[in-house]
Amino acid sequence: MLSRVNSKLLHTVRRWYSSSRPTIFGLSSGSGKCGVAVVRVSGDACRDVMKIKTQSVTLPEPRKAVLRRIFHSKTTEMIDKGLVLWFPGPNSFTGEDSVEFHVHGGVAVVSAMYDSLGSIDGVRLAEPGEFTKRAFYAGKMDLTEVEGLADLIEAETEAQRKQAMLQANGELSKVYNELRNRLLRCIANIEAYIDFAEDQDVGDDVFESVKTDVASIIVDVKAHLNDQRRGERLRSGVRTVIIGAPNVGKSSFVNLLSNRKVSIVTNVAGTTRDIIESHHDIGGYPVILADTAGLRKETSDIIEHEGITRAKDYLTEADFIVLIVDAGNLQSYLKSSKKQFDDYLDHYVTSLGFKENIIRDFNCMIIINKVDLLSEEFRNAIDRTKNLSMLSCQTGEGLQNVLEKITENLKHLCGNPCRESPNISQQRYRHHLKACIQYLEKYYAYLSHGPNPDLAIATQYLRNAVRCIGMITGNVDTEEILDVIFRTFCIGK
């Protein structure tokens, strides 16, 4: 009953929204001076707007650019000469009549267009995201596609662009719509079993098949959730923390990657006291790089102590760790102790104040800095493990290899977005998917509770699961369950 109420409410809201909204306009291209500015208008008054702005009673051919003089609606002075494109609804982005004016991108031209359009009765400036909101209400896109479009606009790296493009094109929607359809079929089968088992050819095997289908859905949703947050990490950026002892070259490494002086570099130990974040594009992946205070077990400096505490707190929330080792200290230790490289790593990590080996417990990469101080013989003696790279921040030697190793780790952390397996990119998707599993498991638990469970109550758990998926896509219409029943069982034939 609650799902039907929500469905009717959604339809009522959509009808009200369609009938009450005015015609809107806004700048669809980037702000500031540019070669061309695109001013979009959407709504029922678009035909009149075009006639007023072009001083022509003839509408251009749909979806075909035409060159027109564009006039001010109040003063009738010509604002500019540009292209006009006419998109009659429903074949437009918003699903309603739309027109685009492509004018020169000067500030004065755009300002005059705004003043002119705003002076027309029933036409107002669009609110942020209102064109996309109208597209959603018109059924042109669901919420995942809307959010994918927003991510596409905000994308700063190639990997982010690929993920956002897949989502904006509906690849994630396909996953959730297919899941929703499977649940709808389960509900339709149970309702057919309840209502028509005695009169129609609907046997007990239908009810058993639903149990199998629900079990399969639970497995698939859990597999979809078991992605180590790759999509969310790619969307927001991989939080990468640089750690190491004082003066090993952490700040120099950040400056080398940034190609500018982000962090202060001196010979004085403990120069960096706070967390210094910088944003990078490494191999097409977004990285939030955090320079931290040099770590050591003890310090008498209260400010340095606070910096170390903050560094360790940040580390617990990081997605990726870059551990920097001083090549000179490494060489001295191995020469004096006659031990192996792995022994030094254990000693080094312990000297930083960690009780456990973070190299094994976290996604960690090791960089040996200041390799320009090492002899060729000693370089060859160091094991080049999978996550080990040699670097000289002073000369830049080894930087390319470091970037390649970091990129390999980023690929592992963010995955490779593809049509066959689109990533979960939003925390809210994960929240609703977990709630969906909870309802499906409650369905099973209720059926196992007693010998004669109330199937209507059991079905409500499935309806709630469907609603959770609908909350992701923005579709909570469950009336189509009836269509599934009649199409599947041909009842009333």
| 1-140: CATH topology | Gyrase A; domain 2 (3.30.1360)
Nearest Cα to 464, choosing from 193, 206, 222, 180? 180
pLDDT exceeds cutoff 60 at 121: yes
Q: What is the pTM of this model?
A: 0.80
Mean pLDDT along residues 312-339: 86
| pLDDT band, very low/low/confident/very high, at 484 (cuts 50, 70, 90) | very low
Whether CATH 1.20.120.430 fits 153-227+424-474 = yes
* Higher per-residue pLDDT: 213 or 483: 213
Residues 6+ apart with CB under 8 A from 266: none
CATH class of 236-414: alpha beta
Nearest Cα to 320, choosing from 351, 287, 295? 287
pLDDT exceeds cutoff 70 at 356: no
Q: Where are the domains of the chain?
A: 1-140, 153-227+424-474, 236-414
* Higher per-residue pLDDT: 363 or 194: 363
**Per-residue pLDDT at 16:** 46
Which of 150-154, 211-215, 237-241, 300-304 has maximum average pLDDT?
237-241
Q: The tokens of 77 are what?
A: 């002075």
Cα-based torsion angle of the residue sequence 457, 458, 463, 469 in order, rounded to the nearest 10 degrees:
140
* Higher per-residue pLDDT: 69 or 211: 69
* pLDDT, tens digit, 9 for 90 and up, residues 14-55: 454 445 579 999 998 877 788 999 999 999 999 999 999 999
Run of H or E residues at 39? strand 34-42
* pLDDT, tens digit, 9 for 90 and up, residues 191-242: 877 766 555 555 567 777 888 899 999 999 999 999 889 999 999 999 999 9
Is the sign of the CA dihedral 311, 312, 318, 323 positive or negative? positive
Q: What percent of the chain has pLDDT over 70?
A: 84
SS3 89: coil
DSSP per position, 437-453? HHHHHHHHHHHTT-SS-
